[in-house]
Chain A
Amino acid sequence: MSRDRTLPGLAVATLVLLGVAAAAPGWMVFTLVVSLAQGLVVLGLMVLWRAGLMSFGQSLYYAVGGYTVGLINIQFGLSNALLLVLAAPAVAGLLAFLLGFLLARYRDIFFSMLTLAFAMILYGVLVKSSTLGSTDGFSILTPSFLGPHPGPDATQRLLTGLAALIALLAAALVHRYLKSTAGHLATAIRDNEIRVEYLGYSVHRAIHVKYVLAGILAGAGGAIVAMAIGHIDPEMAYWTTAGEFVFVAILAGAGSVAAPFLGAILFVVLRTYAAQYTPHLWHMVLGGTLLLFIVFLPDGVWSLFERACRPLKRRAPS
């Protein structure tokens, strides 16, 4: 078995990201924080995907994360970033726990469509709620940190730094989870559910845990993006948002907990450039990219990364 270098790799990557958050130009910092938020959601999708399940409705928890931030702002006047970024995943996780009892019974396309259905219901509710600004949504309070308000630019940088640390924590914990017995049950469930039950473990519970994990991560992503943009609207729950997460998941691949973040950054870059250089064709560019990935890189960009590292290892001893 080869040595697992994921954790040191994540630590180094986080240091680089903290450097970017501190010193890079404002637009780059903004791009980074949005990518990190998206990466968190996709990390959750990866956990489900490994068990052969794909959520087409992860926008549900993304929106719940965002609106939790907004509602805490309104109800309690609280804007502390750390508090909000913990509260939002807790609420999202609770909802996932409740819906999980139903969803854990479904597989394949039925699972996917059911997740989509729940996201559509939330979208409908949000659009109809005039107290929550209906289709316009509403503004989020500028996030605060311990100490006095540091000004808009520094706030964004601090938020991005916080997002990088949360991404590190989430990736490290998910990595640990994937190596555990429950993590390995993903393949086991895909291969043979009957055997899992006969070994004495509930397949429903295994899937339920994965679903809650994915919900928590999507809630965290939604909270971060809400604070970074300073605004939330029902679009967060819409199926196109959920579709983007699936897109990034495929782009990224499920090979490592770092893959979703790499995929998210790649996606934002791709979309930005496509929109800039081909203003009317950018959907086509994204579609074409997805097509190329599915055909030529079914294991995502991460597999390129792995391939790039492997020959080095082989060459070394000779």
Chain B
Amino acid sequence: MTALLDVRDLHKHFGALAAVAGVSVAVAEREVVGVIGSNGAGKTTFVNMVTGYLPPSRGTITFRGRDITGRPPRQVTGLGIARSFQVPQVFASASVLDNLLVAIGIAEEGRLPIWTPLRRRQRVARALATLESYGIAGYASQPASLLPQGVRKLLDIAMATVRGPELLLLDEPTSGISVGEKFAIMDTIMAALRAQRTTVLFIEHDMEIVDRYAERVIAFADGVIIADGPPQAVIDDPEVRRLVVGERVKVAE
């Protein structure tokens, strides 16, 4: 079976710093992969390269057998890869509904979406249904700048999913969300994604979340993958304990 995403020997250097230093990984269709690693391990940089925000210094990225290395985010999105952001990227001065409508409008229309009204009725219905599935329909008319962090995160993710991507990369979907809400929010996200049969790769610091939602875990440290396998095996790995998990437990306490 060929991989959906196949990354070979990926590198990213920022001056003298090697933020990603030789990452090779393959993700199969319908897999749910958790990515762990301490701060600065290169997780976000990895996602930035896969989605075309940063050109790799070296290495190749293949999606469905097609080389997408160095393509800009716009094209990568068009090919079926979407992402959410560690810091939510929404249109702050627009309402939650308009944020989603713009996302849907772009997804539904072609290169010149200059004629059909953005707020056409079917589209508003679709947007509200999407907000409903993420449990944030109650915020529809609020400006995105005034949202609580958790809601803004969900909006960011909802916007990323309107095209029905085949692969979704979530960068710390639960960061900035209170411990009490984390599971509820992950349940919401994962339920919505399962319904769309999306392949998911999510970056997460909370091991409980990783253990509960990931089928496979990849551990990053200093720009390389130090472990890759079933969740419990990776979390219990001594190297991972020393470099990733142990440190996080200390931080949490």
Contact = CB atoms under 8 A, between A and B. Distances in A.
Contact of A201 (B53, B106, B118): B106
B102 A181 contact: yes
A182 B102 CA distance: 9
Given A181-B102, A197-B74, A200-B106, A188 B114 contact: no
Contacts of B119: 1, 179
Given A191-B91, A198-B51, A198-B160, A181 B98 contact: no
Interface stretch (B76-84, B126-134, B178-186, B209-217): B76-84
Contact of A192 (B73, B90, B116, B163): B90
Interface in A164-192: 176-177, 179-185, 187-188, 190-192
B102 A199 contact: yes
B89 A195 contact: yes
Interface in B64-111: 72-74, 77-78, 82-83, 89-94, 98, 101-103, 105-107, 109, 111
A194 B84 CA distance: 12
A219 B150 CA distance: 49
A197 B77 CA distance: 8
B102 A198 contact: no
B159 interface: yes
Nearest to A213: B114
Interface residues of A, number: 26
Contacts of B93: 187, 190-191
A-side interface mostly: helix
B176 interface: no
Of B83, B92, B114, B160, chain A has the most CB atoms within 10 Å of the CB of B114
Contact of B102 (A179, A184, A194): A184
Contact of B98 (A177, A184, A201): A184
Contacts of A185: 102
Contacts of B114: 177, 180-183, 209
A318 to B, nearest CB: 24
B77 to A, nearest CB: 4
Contacts of A177: 114-115
Given A198-B82, A199-B77, A200-B74, A191 B94 contact: yes
Contacts of A198: 51, 73-74, 77, 82-83, 89, 160
Contacts of B94: 184, 187-188, 191
Contacts of B113: 180-182
B107 A192 contact: no
Nearest to A210: B114
A205 interface: yes
A140 to B, nearest CB: 33
Contacts of B118: 179-181, 183-184
B64 to A, nearest CB: 17
Nearest to A179: B117
B74 A181 contact: no
Given A180-B113, A180-B116, A181-B105, A202 B89 contact: no
B112 interface: yes
Nearest to B107: A200
A181 B109 contact: yes
A195 B112 contact: no
Given A180-B118, A200-B74, A209-B112, A195 B51 contact: no
Given A187-B98, A197-B77, A200-B107, 18 more contacts: A176-B115, A177-B115, A179-B117, A179-B118, A179-B119, A182-B112, A184-B94, A187-B94, A191-B90, A191-B93, A192-B91, A198-B51, A198-B73, A199-B77, A199-B162, A200-B77, A200-B106, A200-B163
Give the 5 A-B CB pairs with smallest separation, nearest first: A181-B105, A181-B113, A200-B77, A191-B91, A195-B89
12 contacts: A176-B117, A180-B115, A181-B113, A181-B116, A182-B114, A184-B94, A187-B93, A191-B90, A199-B103, A200-B77, A201-B74, A205-B111
